[in-house]
Copies of this chain bind each other. A is one copy, B any other.
Amino acid sequence: MNYPLTALIETIRHIVPLNEADTTLIGTLFQPWSLKKGDYFVQQGQVCQQVGFIQTGLVRYFVNQDGDEKIYSFGLENDFVCDYESFLSQQPCRRTIQAIEDSTLFIISSANLQRLFTELNYGERFGRIVIEQIFVQAMGQLVSLYTDSPEVRYQVFLDAYPTLAARITQYHIASYVGVKPQSLSRIRARWAGKDYNRISSPE
């Protein structure tokens, strides 16, 4: 096992305890993978067959609605990446996951993930906590879409991902916030007019 798995192992260890045997097992079940900018982790219509762990790079999750892309999430360093709906049900994806930077990851197949769940000391617990986290995150997004204006959502995005904003285009941010790039630009213009340091004062 000669891959730099430390980030992956530390991320898992942050969720459940791991011993020597566990870390060895992880090394045998995951394999390195890489995506170039624009490559797909999984595309709408395919069945998502593996879970990834992003060592370096950046991906976006989106749905394609008549050529109009709606980004609903990003995956960055030390994130797990998967269309869980497709992976769990083995049904075709309704979404696409695409690298927007060159990315290096470790991937684990469905079969190996099952082994991880059963053979890792806290495997089942790990699996449950991860899906739980994803569920909570999704519900948070859902509530935010109901309750927050685009302006607030943009502010929350900046607060939640302060470094990400500089790595992606306004197009991506606008799509995530739920508006067109022109509208996001106008929101920024509005802020510039009345308030020069947004980061520290979300009004």
Binding site for B on A (CB under 8 A): 63, 65, 68, 70, 72, 84-85, 88-89, 94-95, 131-132, 134-136, 138-139, 141-143, 145-147, 178
- Contact A88 B132, beta carbon cutoff 8 Å: yes
Complex alpha-carbon distance, A185 and B8, angstroms: 52
Q: What chain B residues lie within 8 Å of A94 (beta carbons)?
A: 143
- Contact B178 A146, beta carbon cutoff 8 Å: yes
- Dominant secondary structure at the A interface: helix
Which residue in B63, B138, B147 is a CB contact (below 8 Å) of A146? B63
Q: What chain B residues lie within 8 Å of A139 (beta carbons)?
A: 85, 138
Name the residue among A65, A136, A139 with the largest chain B CB count within 10 angstroms. A139
- Contact A63 B143, beta carbon cutoff 8 Å: yes
Closest to A83 in B: B139
- Contact B85 A143, beta carbon cutoff 8 Å: no
Which residue in B63, B134, B143, B147 is a CB contact (below 8 Å) of A147? B63
